[in-house]
A and B are shown apart, each in its own frame.
Chain A
């Protein structure tokens, strides 16, 4: 096994080896520069680095007054809010460990993490989160205090565990004024080898595990990325992805604190598009589904546009497809195309980038799942430097990055600076470097199993390194199986090909130890709904639309294209999809069908919809099914439907 190494890691900032020290440094050298902005009451409110530091100190002192000590765990739950980011720093100042939770997790998921991490104090965004925590209080004896950021609706709550963040900050400010040395000493006690944060794995298989990362790991990963893309303290990013996700922690917390650039918190999760446009970030990160959503919206709006506009758009998008990516990569392009592209830039690409809020983007990354070729090419061809990266929670999302000018659709880049990669005999990707996890929290067994004898972290992904030195991912190693006739079956690979169609939102492929490949499909309600409207096809909701014969015909076309595509791949030739069905309900994380990062839990789905799977492998044309669904408020109900099954 050969080891492939990234270039040498850039030097770490001297003496600034923990996040609290980095924060103090920024407050000293760029105190008046914006650190966090948040849109509130329709206006962007700015917190400078000095504000960030001062508030984090106050929260830290407030926590100390609550009896929060070195090594204690602090849960943080909520949308991206300035004071929640500050709470991470506050917790680290005291040597505590922030535990990040997904804000849309249901009470029992939250309870699991609170018990597992034995959380002592929780800082949460609002009433919604408080309600969930109060519900789990009986099963989480370690939880002593729940602190809420937004007091709205909290007036009649009188539980002794509750406290407003304003109150905590006020108490902390007094404490810090009276004995400033206390916190200074605490910050000095911090070591770079301390655990800086706990992020839970999404748990595609089994219960989530708490990944403990040190200051050193995240600073190393952040620093490497900053040098790789030459980021400065003048970048602007929009922090809109869940704070519990490793990507957001890397970009919005670690990199912001290492480079000293400003993060911007959207007004609400519904205003992200408007906020994106107002901020005009220079550095942007989104999983493929967000880019997909953007493209779908552009396409829907173009279909509703006037004929002239549509013609112009189609013409110039054809020009962009021909030469846009080449121009971005500074490769030679015929003069005529170059001129046409320049015209298109004025008429279409520039305004389009502006509408998308991407006028100022220097570097954009996507990761977390495979990105569709058309999608990837679309963004690159209109002049957005969209690149791919590869990493996971256990590696601070820092393993491979695509260098400018070497962008490949099917690859995820070269090993990042300071990272070593090797491919094991079974095809598994293994990585080594300072960014790998310190441990799974209280799971020495799992920690030991995660590393091989040479200290490489075993990612569980199957892949290979191409001749160009870039890593390519095939699938989750344990998902790769075989059909009964011995054909290789890579479910993710097939699902991604299906999901590249804007009409298909989710797909689940079956085939391991079966005679042929079959698939569940979720249609995209926006895209297919708009398509149906334009055809005058009436429908009452998702379930109704999903079972229309016209929609089946539409999806059958997509499946046929995927099959044609699979035929061209020598390894996948026999893996064509024979039968499919459109599910009567959307797969949802609340029902346990997706992880919070929206990955399908294949095994769980197969069990839950067992009658449908059986039907796919028989010759029936429809199947009745009843399923339990959970509503957002935690109640549950039942959906029943007769689902059609189609041959592809």
Chain B
């Protein structure tokens, strides 16, 4: 059984974003198809994280249209984006350091917990049944990402590579339709990177999760992406299959510098 790439799930049209006089993104358009791994690459300051922040509603672009799952999106905040099925991880890990791995991942289920806090305070009855159902899903993710041995360990005590994995787990707990990963492999050693690559591929394959990924490591990007967007100084300078992008003179210039 091969994985299938479907229709466009997210379409970004002519996005421009500026902070005062600084233009972070200028007239960028690209789309993401259902089930694919789509990478955004570019040198430092190219606008990659800004792009991700636009997608999940942290920033509101001054111009352009965002169409997610066939509906044009108005101004929305990250909370609403999450409710629509967009989950993300952060470049700098944003977990609750004092809480255990399990509790951190459970917070990823927060939006799906239907009972109000009174029910939850009562504990028995419907809230407990919910809790069990959510826990089951969380345990599947723990099993999937092979972090059983740290289930009860406070996140702050874990090495960096594992914290990254926990963050991925929490994002997955929200059962996202679109998963945004901001440099999931930054600061990892070769072995940790390999593991992370495998998990990203497995998530995509097993659950058909659509993934948008920012990454610096070109090797990784070329290996796992279906399509790649290249940004430089807030502009799109390339878009296509990994191989096409790799051989694009514009991209080579942006990355390696050109003789002026």
Contacts and interface: CB of A to CB of B under 8 A. Distances in A.
Interface stretch (A150-158, A183-191, A210-218): A150-158
B202 interface: yes
Nearest to B190: A631
Interface in B1-21: 1-3
B146 A268 contact: yes
A41 B143 contact: yes
B194 interface: yes
Nearest to A633: B194
Contact of B139 (A41, A153, A156, A632): A41
Interface in A524-579: none
A178 interface: no
Contact of A155 (B1, B136, B140): B1
B140 A41 contact: yes
A444 interface: no
Given A41-B139, A41-B143, A42-B142, A152 B206 contact: yes
Chain B: number of interface residues, binned into ranges: 20 to 34
B205 interface: yes
A156 B149 contact: no
Nearest to A157: B1
Contacts of B135: 42
Chain A interface size, under 10 / 10 to 19 / 20 to 34 / 35 or more: 10 to 19
A270 B2 contact: no
B149 A270 contact: yes
Given A153-B205, A155-B3, A156-B1, A42 B149 contact: no
A155 B3 CA distance: 8
Contacts of B148: 39, 42, 267-268, 270-271
B202 A274 contact: no
B134 interface: no
Contacts of A42: 135, 139, 142, 148, 151
A113 B136 CA distance: 40
A155 B142 CA distance: 20
Among A42, A153, A268, A271, max chain B CB count under 10 A is at: A42
B200 to A, nearest CB: 12
A39 B202 CA distance: 22
A40 B148 CA distance: 9
Nearest to A156: B2
A603 to B, nearest CB: 31
Given A41-B136, A41-B139, A153 B149 contact: no
A637 B208 CA distance: 36
Interface string B136-154: 1001101110101101100
Given A153-B205, A155-B1, A633-B194, A271 B149 contact: yes
Contacts of A155: 1-3, 205-206
Interface in A251-297: 267-268, 270-271, 274
B121 to A, nearest CB: 24
Contacts of A632: 191
Interface in A316-345: none
Q: How would you classify the secondary structure of chain B's contact residues: helix, strand, loop or mixed?
A: helix
A271 B143 CA distance: 12
Nearest to A41: B139
A632 to B, nearest CB: 8
Interface in A20-44: 39-43
Contacts of A267: 148-149
Contacts of B79: none
Contacts of B143: 40-41
A152 B141 CA distance: 12
B144 A152 contact: yes
Contacts of A268: 146, 148-149
Contacts of A156: 1-3, 205
A156 B140 CA distance: 21
B198 interface: yes
Contacts of B151: 42
Interface in A38-87: 39-43
Interface string A156-168: 1000000000000
Interface in B138-176: 139-140, 142-144, 146, 148-149, 151-152
Nearest to A42: B139
Interface string B85-122: 00000000000000000000000000000000000000
Contacts of B194: 633
Contacts of A633: 194
Nearest to A631: B191
B38 to A, nearest CB: 19
Contacts of B142: 41-42
Interface in A594-648: 632-633
Interface in A438-494: none
Contacts of A152: 144, 202, 206
A408 to B, nearest CB: 37
Contacts of B201: 153
A43 B149 CA distance: 13
B149 A274 contact: yes
B134 to A, nearest CB: 13
Nearest to A270: B149
A6 B3 CA distance: 63
A340 to B, nearest CB: 35
Interface string A124-159: 000000000000000000000000000011011000
13 contacts: A41-B142, A42-B135, A42-B148, A153-B202, A153-B205, A156-B1, A156-B2, A156-B3, A267-B149, A268-B149, A270-B148, A270-B149, A274-B152
Given A42-B135, A156-B205, A267-B149, 14 more contacts: A40-B143, A41-B139, A41-B140, A42-B142, A42-B148, A152-B206, A153-B201, A153-B202, A153-B205, A156-B2, A156-B3, A268-B149, A270-B149, A271-B148
Interface of A: 39-43, 152-153, 155-156, 267-268, 270-271, 274, 632-633
